[in-house]
Structure 1
C-alpha cells in the first residue's frame, strides 16, 4: 500500500536530483526508502544548473512512525560527505529530543560503510559527528536560544516536531538559523512534524502556506494526512489508506494496537496527521459538526449539570449531560441569562427536581461566586447538592475527556446557536504544559462559556459525586 500525498510540491524533471544517491545511502544505513520518502527526497533535493539546491525551505508534515528520521538521516549524511566543512544542525522542542535524534543518526552512520569516514564525540552538550573527508560536523543546538548559532555556518538545519513551537518561538528559530545560511549556497531549512494543537501557531501558518500553493519559489511542501472532512475519526481503514508507512514498516495490527492505547484525539493527530484544533478554533468545525445530535437523553438514567459564567460576568449558562439511546454522552443547553444572581437559585431548583449525579462549577473561575452561594445554601438549608470537587487536575481531565469524546464519537451535543457560537469563539491557554480551553471573550464579544459549561456537565456525568441514591429523572428546563 502506497498512500498518496494529499499535498506535495511536484517533481520538475527539467532538473536533476540527488534523491537517488540519498536513497542508496539510506539503504546502506539500514533503512531503504519507502515510496513516500523517495518522493520527498527526489523533489527536495533537486538542484539547478549551478548544482545548488532549488529549495531553501522544506516543510514535511506526516504521521507518526512514518519514517521522518530515517529520511533525514541519509539527507544529512549525504551533505556531510559531499560538502566541505558543512554545518549540519538538529533541534527540537527539548534539547534531549534533539540529542536523541542526533544519536540515532550517529548510530546509523556508524553501522554503515560511512563508519570509516566519521569520528564521534558523545559528551553531553558537545555532541558532534565529524566527517573526516570533508570536515563537516553534525551537531545539536538549543531551538529557543537567540544566540545558539551565532558565528556558525549552516548547510542544513533540521527542526523536528515543529508543532511544539508557537509563532513567536518559530521566529526565534528563524532568527537563529537563517543568517547562518547566508554564505552557504544551497543551504536548507527542513521543518518536520506531525499535526499540532491550537497552540502550534508556527506550524499551522506553514501548513496554510503549503496547502495553498503546494510550496512555491524556494519553498517545498509535503503532507500526508487523513482528509479534513473525515466523518468517522475512529475508522482505521481511513488511517490505513492515508498513512504512507502502512504495509512497509507498520502493520494494520500495529495501528490497531496504537488506537487501543491512545486517546481518540491524540490518535487522530498522531496517526492521521489530523488537526483536531487549529489556530482559529480550539475544536475543529469538522469534529464539532460530526458530533451533532437531535436525540434526547434516555429517561431513567443519571444526568449532571455544569455551570459557567462569562469572563466579563455579563451572563451565565447552565448545561446538562445525559446518556443517549446509542450509549453516547449527550450535552445540551438548559438555560442562559444575563447576570449571575439567578444561577445559584436555579441550580438548587434543578437539583431538587432532578437529583443529578453531579453539579460541576469551577470555584476558581468567574463562576466562583455561584459555587460559593450554592455551598452556603447547602450548608444553611441542609439541602443535598452533589457539588463536585473541581481544581486544576479536574480541569485538565475535563478538557481531555471533552475533546477525546468529540473526536472519538462518544460525546454528542444537541445543536444550539449559543453552543455553536461558543465553540467558534473559544481559544486556548496553557495550564501545566497542557493546552486547555480559554475563558476569554472573543473580539466580537462572544463568550465561550456555553461550551465550557457543556464540558463541565460531561465531566460531572463521568465522575459522579457519591451521595444517597438519586431519583433518576431527565432534565427539562
Structure 2
C-alpha cells in the first residue's frame, strides 16, 4: 500500500491499457512499479478502440524522492519498442538537467535485459539512445524556440516543470506541439514537484487538474493538504508521501527536514505550494498566521520602510513579539508621497529604541534611507540603520517564509497586508526566487509585504550599539 492520491483521474475500465505491459517491462528493468506509479500508468496509458492513447497530456505532481522519473523509464522503453520509429524526448529547466535525466534513463536501459538491443551516443549535444525499429530517445533545450524545429515526437517529458514561468512554458509548447501533429497517440508528460510564486505555468495545470476541466488530460497529485496546521509535523508528510515504505524510509524525512529550509522542505517533501495562484503566500499559511493580539510593550522591536515602485506612497511596518513568544509583524503607517517617512521613523526610533531600522537603499525607498543617513551625519544623532543589500534581501525572503511555515511568525491582521500579498509577484535573484516590487495590474503595490519582511529581518539581525563617538550631540 502507499499514500492515496489527493487528486487523480480515475481508471475507465471500458478501455484497455498498456499499464500492465509497462509494469512488466519495469520489473524486467529492475524498476518494479510502486502502487502509485502503477495507478498512473494504468490511467495514462489507456487506449481507445483504435489503439490510440486517450490522453494527449499527462500531468503528475508529486513529492521529491517519490520516483517520478523512474516511472518514465519503462514508459519510454515501452513506447520505443511498440511504436515504429518512435521519437522520444526529454527536457528540463536547464539543458544539463535534461541531459542528466537522459543519462540516468540510458544507464538504466543499458543495464537491463534491453541493453544488447540499444545503441548509445553520448557526445555532448548529440546524446541519443537508439532502439530496434528505429526509435530514439534524446534530450533537448527547453529554452530554444527552434530546439524541435523539423522534428517529430511521440512522447515528450518535461521534468520539474515548476522551474518555468508562464512565458517560458509557452516557448516550450511552441517547440513541442507542432512536432506531435502527425503522430497519432502522441503524449506530453509534465512531471514536477510543487513550485514557487514564479511557477505560473505549472500552477495553471494544477488548477485545471484539480478542477478536472481538461478532458483531454489526466492529472495526478500526491501532497499534504492545503489546510495543514503544523507544517513541521513529519507524520503528516509520511502519511501523504507515496514512496514511504517502498523506496524511502520515514527517517529519511527527518534527515531532509534537518538539512533544508522549512518552506523548501514543505514544497519538496510535502508537494505544498507555499505560494498560490492568487497570493504570494498560500492562503492557508497566511490565514493560519493571523492574530489580533498586540505586540508586547518593552520587547525588542524593529521598524522598516518600503516605498511603492512608482513612489506614490510608502509604508512603515514593525516587527515585535507576542505574549505567546511568537514574533509578529504589523503595519504602523501608510501615506501618500514619501516626505513624511524619515521624520516618522526618527520619531519612532526615539520613542521605542528599536533593534534595527531596515530600508533597502537600492529600492524605491532609497531617498528615505539617504534622508536618515544625512540626518545622522548632520546632527550627530545615531539611528540603528541596518546594512542591507542583495544578500540580505535573499535571506530576508527565506527567513520570512520559514518563520510562517514553522509557526513562529504571526501578522497582525490587516487589509493593507492582505492586499499586498495578493498582488506580489516573483523574480529571480542569484538563482533564488524572491518577491517582486512590481505593482499589480490594478496598480496595487506589494510595498506593505516588503516592509513587513524587512522589519522581521531587523528583529533577527539587530544592529550593534553605536560607538560612543557617534552618539555625541
TM-score of the two chains, using structure 1 as the length reference: 0.95
Give 1:271's aligned residue.
269
Asked if 1:368 is matched to 2:366, the reply is yes
List per-residue Cα deviations over 1:113-155 (Å, max 9, x = no partner): 1112111111111111111x21111111111211111222211
Question: Mind listing any 5+ residue stretches in structure 2 that lack a counterpart?
Answer: 469-473
Give 1:212's aligned residue.
211
- Deviation of 1:436 (Å): 1.7
Number of positions where the alignment pairs a residue of Structure 1 with one of Structure 2? 468
The separation in 2 between residues aligned to 1:223 and 1:352, in whole angstroms, is 53
Q: Is the 8 A contact 2:127 2:139 kept in 1?
A: yes
Give 1:244's aligned residue.
242
Asked if 1:342 is matched to 2:343, the reply is no
The separation in 2 between residues aligned to 1:438 and 1:179, in whole angstroms, is 34
Deviates most, 349-358 or 7-16:
349-358
Q: Name the SS of the counterpart of 2:130 in structure 1.
A: strand
The separation in 2 between residues aligned to 1:407 and 1:365, in whole angstroms, is 27
Alignment of 1:32-431 (within 5 A): 32-131=32-131, 133-213=132-212, 215-216=214-215, 218-431=216-429
- Deviation of 1:300 (Å): 4.5
- Deviation of 1:430 (Å): 2.8
The separation in 2 between residues aligned to 1:121 and 1:442, in whole angstroms, is 48
Q: Is the 8 A contact 1:215 1:221 kept in 2?
A: no
The separation in 2 between residues aligned to 1:320 and 1:105, in whole angstroms, is 52
Give 1:475's aligned residue.
none
Deviates most, 39-48 or 315-324:
315-324
Q: CA RMSD in A?
A: 1.7
Deviates most, 284-293 or 334-343:
334-343
Q: Name the SS of the counterpart of 2:377 in structure 1.
A: helix
Question: Mind listing any 5+ residue stretches in structure 1 that lack a counterpart?
Answer: 471-477
Q: Is the 8 A contact 1:316 1:339 kept in 2?
A: yes
- Deviation of 1:66 (Å): 0.5
- Deviation of 1:312 (Å): 2.6
List per-residue Cα deviations over 1:398-432 (Å, max 9, x = no partner): 11111221122121111122122221222223333
- Deviation of 1:469 (Å): 10
Give 2:4's aligned residue.
4
The separation in 1 between residues aligned to 2:415 and 2:303, in whole angstroms, is 19
List per-residue Cα deviations over 1:259-299 (Å, max 9, x = no partner): 11111111111111111113422111211111112333344
List per-residue Cα deviations over 1:164-189 (Å, max 9, x = no partner): 11122212211211211222221111
